[in-house]
Homo-oligomer: A and B are copies of this chain.
Amino acid sequence: MTRKRIVILGGGMIGSAMAADLKRQDRHDVTVAELRAEVRARLETRHGVATRAADLSRPAAIAELVKGYDFVLGALPSVYGYQTLEAVIGAGKDYCDISFMPENALELDARARAAGVTCVVDCGVAPGVSNAMAGYASTRLDPFQSLEIYVGGLPRERRWPYDYKAGFAPFDVIEEYTRPARIVAHGRVVVKEALSEPERMDFPGVGTLEAFNTDGLRSLVHTLKVPFMKEKTLRYPGHVQLMEAIRETGFFSKEPLQVGDVSVRPLDVLAKLLFPKWTFAEGEADLTVLRVVAGGLEDGRPACYTWDLLDRFDPATGLRSMSRTTAFPATIVAGLMLDGVFRRPGVHAPESLGREPGLLERLLRELAARGVSCHAQAPSRAEEPVAV
């Protein structure tokens, strides 16, 4: 097979993990584009990866940059996600992205089809692997009646009072705790308050966690016809109650507050005090938990598919679990795309892959080969068909 030239946009936590994985596979040539010189230097010395300087906040610079490559992997902050997707489509390159952009990427589907490029977005763990599982379930269940996704990135050691550290930008965590959560009930989109409806759940190997509403269904609201769907975030018990109290006190507010003779946004004060406490130390262990439960009828009988994914910090590579579980689905899917296994012009979320025969199994097998193991419960089925 011909070696291809891959460029990774962004050399942060996720981009580094992508580069390390592709370098280890050594099936293609890899370059990381990154503005920060010290980040480039670390990538070159620690992972032996080629880098080049580029200002990735400018779509024009991205369009110019990607010309010299066969495939593009996106690992930029969410704020740059949409404009980067547009630029890569405009440049006519296939693309796999994990940026978690706030916009609806599927709106660029027609443009990608017209350009003949295949793009897969939201290709991390959740969104990402969870979407592929949902897509798979949609090929087995008829009707597909309910989908529940539970996901969390956690520090291995619980430290009072937050029992939490952020595997990605802390401001995005607060954003997640603020934005109203869209779930689907009785076939309709229902808006719930973020942090609402906490429920305790036991996870083998982790213990009891608490799941609460966040706005994580994203593309699934549009691509699946399932009457009951929800996505919840997992944290150690107590975290959500504390964050609710912090929110209730007013610290999530972006409205300037007059304090003495200065004006300050409470959220900025919270961020300044809180985010240093939420930052993982170098080498500090984390873990990632994902549970996906899909229910419906299969051959007329009630059936339920359940996947549990539990991944931990890898001391050998120093890669945190959140980096591993976000980066590896993207590098694996990139491999499938480069091998021509998945090639369909347009903008796709990973449920499109999950619908293809054998692709979820292949994704999970390749994740397992990288130490990210997922336990799929044998589908529970009722003995007798039931009337729908």
Residues of A in contact with B (beta carbons under 8 Å apart): 160-162, 241-242, 244-246, 248-251, 257-260, 262-264, 266, 268-270, 272-274, 277
Expressed in whole angstroms, the Cα–Cα distance for A241 and B237 within the complex equals 14
Distance A241 CA – B160 CA, assembled complex (angstroms): 10
B249 and A260 within 8 A (CB): no
Closest to A247 in B: B161
Closest B residue by C-beta to A238? B241
List B contacts of A162 (CB < 8 A): 245
What separation, in Å, do the CA atoms of A66 and B201 have in the docked complex? 67
Which residue of B has the minimal Cβ distance to A272? B259
Query: Contacts A242-B242, A269-B269; is A260 near B250 (CB within 8 Å)?
Result: no
State the Cβ distance, A130 to closest chain B Cβ, in Å. 31
Cβ contact of A264, chosen from B160, B246, B262, B274, cutoff 8 A: B262
For A257, the closest partner residue in chain B by CB is: B272
* A-B contact sample (12 more), CB < 8 A, given A160-B245, A259-B268: A242-B242, A245-B245, A249-B270, A249-B273, A249-B277, A257-B269, A257-B272, A259-B269, A260-B268, A262-B264, A266-B269, A269-B269
* Closest chain B residue, CB of each to CB of A277: B249
Most buried by B among A160, A248, A264, A272: A264
**Could you give 11 example pairs across A and B, Cβ below 8 Å?**
A160-B245, A160-B248, A161-B248, A161-B249, A162-B245, A249-B277, A250-B273, A257-B272, A257-B273, A259-B272, A266-B269
Complex: how many Å from CA A343 to CA B257?
53
Q: What is the bound-complex CA distance between A251 and B277, given in angstroms?
A: 13
Give bound CA distance, A264 to B160, whole Å. Answer: 26
Q: Which residues of B contact A270 (CB under 8 A)?
A: 249
Residues A264 and B264 in contact, CB atoms below 8 Å apart: yes
Q: A266 touching B273 by the CB < 8 A rule?
A: yes
Contacts of A257 in B (CB 8 A): 269, 272-273
CB distance from A312 to the nearest CB of B (A): 27
Q: What is the minimal beta-carbon distance from A264 to any residue of chain B, in angstroms?
A: 5
Residue A161 contacts which of B245, B273, B277 (CB distance < 8 angstroms)?
Answer: B245
Q: Which residue of B lies closest to A256 (CB)?
A: B262
CB contacts (< 8 Å) of A266 on chain B: these are: 269, 273
Contacts of A259 in B (CB 8 A): 264, 268-269, 272
